[in-house]
Amino acid sequence: MTANGSSSSPAAPPEVDLAAAGLLPPLPAALVGGAALDLLAPLRFLPPGGLPAGPPPPVERRALAAALAVANAAYGHPRAAELAERLADPATRVVVAGQQVGLFGGPLYTLVKAAAAARFAEALEARGEAAVAVFWMATEDHDWQEVARAALLAGEEVRHLDLGADPAALLPVGLRTLGEGVTAAFAELAPLFPGERGAAWLAELGRWYRPEARFGEAFARLLARLLGPRCPLLLDALLPELKAAEAPWQAALVARRDEVAAALEAADREVEARGFPLQVAPQPGASPLFLLRDGARRRIEWRPGERFALRGAPGEHPLAELRDALAENPAVVGPGVLARPAIQDAVLGTTLQVMGPGEVAYLAQATAVYRVLGIPGPWVALRPQALLLDARQRQHLAELGLDLGRLLADPEGAARDLGERAGGDFVARAREAVLAELDGLRAPALALDPQLERPFAKTRDGIAHALELFAGKVAAAAVRHDEGRARRLAQLRAACLPDGRLQERVLTGGLLPARYGDALAAALLEQLGLDPRRLSVITP
């Protein structure tokens, strides 16, 4: 049964090759195509459709697993004790994904990552290997703009919500409460979901997203509720047992700081030499570590003579202070983006990391830390990308004859294609005839004066461009002429590209059950494909 009560739906979701459609950044696109694999060494890129091979690295995880059993039980995870016991066994393969703890679950791709990690762990278990999925909640981050916003589709309009101005710049979000801004957000949401399903889901969300609740706590309770027994173990980056396990590795980064800096610089040069953009700008003198002091999380910068400074703060400090902090209070030190993957994998004994396109792109720089610290490189899988289309939307896509890949990559071109099929193609035919006549002028013109080559080319290009623009306007008018066709196109475009961006990067995952109910998470877990080259079209 579909969302509008219809029982019919297209037999199969439309196929979209993400790399061919230009919907993958350059380095991930090269990786799924089998190129540039050595840039990730010592990490190994998982081929599409494959599973990691080889034994997991031997890592002692019992203390961390015990803490996760308690934390996840508090979040409402129905399998907290079972999965934590499995994690404690060093023979268990660990599949890791992670993201910031965004308002109401953050962008939809956060939920996709968690579901993909669970699916990979299940695939390993089906092969007869003990496995557990872990979701790293990046509560140490202090980027308020990343976590304090939410968005939903209301008709064809994207409605944006936020928690207001940053009340404590540089304070990790895991140490913050949501504040009264969340009450105002619920007040804006209520009129947008007038039905019973929407009201019931907002009431449930309100149990977790309270002014006095912390970001990580609310996020974890939401994820455990949505994914239920198949939810990964949820790991708060500020968990004391995790910070204790990280401390020796961070101390090694301090001790070998010059070697780390040289390795990061060499990795930057190699990435650029291959023609790929750097995701993290080079920062001479900067460490890959942060220190929390006086309520502010600041990057540590190395200074000569066994000293360090904190970015944006006055003064310098003896390196002994940092070593003492790691020994006595490791909670105040944390890894930055280039050190976190390696430290995460050292602590968890990761078999497989599931990462988004942007994360994979910066991983080529982060491999330097693995090499310096001698941390075994796990397998890396590019996460699948997903698009929610209900049965009615898929039916409209089929009726209009739209190519979904073209709609996502070039919505204006897709609209022009539709208009031409609707009778607006006469300008295109005339354009071909005009350009053919123009091409016939070139030879006699150049016979008179070879210097006419450039004026001829300029004239031809100008006329061709003007006719192309006019053809687009005619095609758009042809679509508008059929009001039903125009309305369906507008609705599909808004659903697939809210605010002109891919749906999973805009719409907030935790608000979608207000429309789809429990069918959302169930459909995602069942229909999500693990081949990163193909867009997963999910129909709740």
Mean pLDDT for the stretch of residues 280-295: 95
> Please, how many CA atoms are within 13 Å of residue 164, restricted to the half-sphere of its CB?
11
* Residue 437 burial (10 A CB sphere; 0-12, 13-18, 19+): exposed
Mean pLDDT for the stretch of residues 50-73: 96
To the question of pTM greater than 0.85 for the whole model, the response is yes
pLDDT at 424 over 80: no
Higher pLDDT, 95 or 14: 95
With both helix axes pointing from N to C terminus, report the angle between 340-348 and 357-373 in degrees, rounded to the nearest 10: 70
Helix/strand/coil for 138: coil
Q: Which two tokens stand for residue 348?
A: 């968890």
pLDDT, tens digit, for every residue of 313-346?
Answer: 999 999 999 999 999 999 999 999 999 999 999 9
- In the predicted model, what is the mean pLDDT of the chain? 92
Is 3.30.360.10 the CATH number for 1-278+328-385+502-540?
Answer: no
Q: Which two tokens stand for residue 228?
A: 């239920």
Q: Of the given ranges (180-194, 277-291, 328-342, 457-471), which has the lowest mean pLDDT? A: 457-471
pLDDT at 215 over 60: yes
Position 6 scores a pLDDT of 39
Higher pLDDT, 5 or 182: 182
DSSP 319-356: HHHHHHHHHH-GGGEEE-TTTHHHHHHHHHTEEEEEE-
pLDDT, tens digit, for every residue of 177-189?
Answer: 999 999 999 999 9
pLDDT, tens digit, for every residue of 74-131?
Answer: 999 999 999 999 999 999 999 999 999 999 999 999 999 999 999 999 999 999 999 9
Domains of the chain, residue spans? 1-278+328-385+502-540, 392-501
pLDDT at 165 over 50: yes
* Residue 294 burial (10 A CB sphere; 0-12, 13-18, 19+): exposed
DSSP class of residue 46 equals: P
- What is the C-alpha end-to-end distance of the chain, expressed in Å? 10
pLDDT at 467 over 90: no
